[in-house]
Chain A
Amino acid sequence: MATPLRIVIAKPGLDGHDRGAKVVARALRDAGHEVIYTGLRRTPEQIVRTVIDEDAQFLGLSSLSGAHAHLFPKICKLLQESDVGHVIVFGGGIIPTADKPALFEAGIKAIFGPGTSSTQINDFISTAAAKDDAGCGAESDWHWGD
């Protein structure tokens, strides 16, 4: 059997909506990945620490409270500063279309909104895993969807 991907699913900030994150975590497990769920209310520093300790290749962030615009870029920056710019960062939740360009610019490679199916998320994961320039610190401006 191929070595599973290790994926951290995290809830940054004070947002208490965790249904979506849990649905996504289970979908990724069912696709054969090892998913580490952090639980609610983690700081960017805690999330980056988790990614490092767990040697994860992917980090999925979930936010429904509106704090994504500030927290997602902060986490990408911390990852790069901590020498783990190879980690592929993606996210989901309630994220207005107008906010997406800035998140892509910051190094997030995909954003998924309400109603996303597990097939869509898994298509992204397998596509990104096959690329060598999908890390949050990569020069490339490739991202998934629009």
Chain B
Amino acid sequence: MDIDKARAGSRLGLSQALSLVENGLAFSTEEEGQVIGITGAPGVGKSCLVDQLAQAYARNGEKVAILAVDPSSPISGGALLGDRLRMESADLDDLVYMRSVATRGETGAVPSVVADMAAVLKECGWKRIIIETVGSGQAEFRIAAVADTIILVEAPGMGDAIQSEKAGIIELVDIIVVNKSDLEGADATAANIISALSAGSKDIPVMQVSSHTGDGVTYLVQAIDEVADSGTSRAQWRERLASQWMRRMSHHPNLDSILDELESSQINIGEAILLLEVEQ
């Protein structure tokens, strides 16, 4: 891949390199960087929060890249990528790069190519990378396959949050943000979360933020730098493995023909899996 143009700082070169990787080319890098994952249910304000964070970093003179994931239609294969609507800072500031990503053939809130796209960004000097996942329930934590720091976003009036212990998921979360703190009920939501967490062993900061007024954003930026990097946990390794497994399937050159044969009952699932395992 001709990544020199991108390395030299060309936005167009970067965009084109990201497309190649998105279309299946593998990429890895030795360059360091911090990948911040923003996850949470649909409508809690993830995109607005990402916009606030990007503005905060840019104000400090720091470059920040955003990868925002939205679901593809399993029927048409098309996607409406609307996160940009809420991220006006992205098309105003040279320090901010924003790219919309569709899940394409994959299930899960973060497609496997995102890890390699983040690697391209690191390689090209973007050391802060924010990933917004598809709006997802608590059972979905594929973001752990790529993010170093995971922020779970909640909002008042979005139903009872955090069945954390049950799902075993909380060990993956670094910070919980109660967004929309300008709305009624934010205090109660935060209190509920804190009491639910108190049973557990991990000390997770719970912060109130308003992505409309900007309240609390400065503290969140500090907290993101303060959470200790606890290394890669077992649960994280599990997500990485699942992600690569998924990639193997969704980028398999014979996937279409295997699906055709399944559809017309020429093979069964067991045979299909054997076909996927054939090295290409």
Residues of A near any B CB (own CB < 8 A): 1, 3-4, 25-26, 28-39, 42, 45-47, 49-50, 52-55, 82-84
List the A side residues contacting B72 at CB < 8 Å: 4, 34
From A25, A28, A29, A53, B15 is in contact (CB under 8 Å) with: A53
The answer to whether B15 and A36 touch across the interface, beta carbons within 8 angstroms, is no
Which residues does chain B contribute within 8 Å of A28, judged by CB atoms?
78
Contact B100 A36 (CB under 8 A): yes
Can you give 25 A-B contacts (C-beta < 8 A)?
A1-B104, A1-B105, A4-B78, A4-B104, A25-B80, A26-B80, A30-B78, A31-B78, A32-B77, A34-B81, A34-B100, A36-B81, A36-B100, A37-B81, A37-B84, A37-B85, A39-B84, A47-B91, A49-B91, A53-B90, A53-B97, A53-B99, A54-B100, A55-B16, A55-B18
Main secondary structure of the interface of A (DSSP, over half): mixed
Contacts A4-B102, A54-B99 given: A34-B15 contact, CB under 8 Å?
no
Which residues 116-145 of B sit at the A interface, judged by CB distance below 8 A? none
- In terms of DSSP, what is the predominant structure of the interface of chain B? mixed
A58 → chain B closest CB, angstroms: 13
B265 on the A face (CB < 8 A): no
Residues of A within 8 A of B84 (CB): 36-39, 50
Q: Judge whether B28 is part of the interface by a CB distance below 8 angstroms.
A: no
Residues of A within 8 A of B86 (CB): 39
Residues of chain B whose beta carbon lies under 8 Å from any beta carbon of chain A: 11-12, 15-16, 18-19, 23, 72-73, 76-82, 84-86, 88, 90-92, 97-100, 102, 104-105, 256
User: How far does the alpha carbon of A36 sit from the alpha carbon of B18 in the complex, in Å?
Assistant: 16
State which of B12, B81, B91, B92 has its C-beta within 8 Å of the C-beta of A35. Answer: B81
Contacts A34-B102, A46-B92, A49-B91 given; indicate if A4 touches B12 (C-beta within 8 A): no
A1 touches B85 (CB 8 A): no
Pair B91/A46 contact, Cβ less than 8 Å: yes
Assembly CA distance A83 to B16 (angstroms): 13
Please give me the residue from chain A that is nearest to B81 by CB atom: A36
Given pairs A1-B256, A50-B91, A53-B15, 5 additional interface contacts (CB within 8 A): A29-B80, A34-B81, A38-B84, A38-B85, A55-B12
Interface-central residue, A26, A32, A82, A83, by most chain B CB under 10 Å? A32
Q: Kindly list chain B residues whose C-beta atoms are within 8 Å of the C-beta of A29.
A: 73, 76, 78-80
Q: Identify the closest chain B residue to A57 (Cβ).
A: B19
Residue of A nearest to B17 (CB): A55
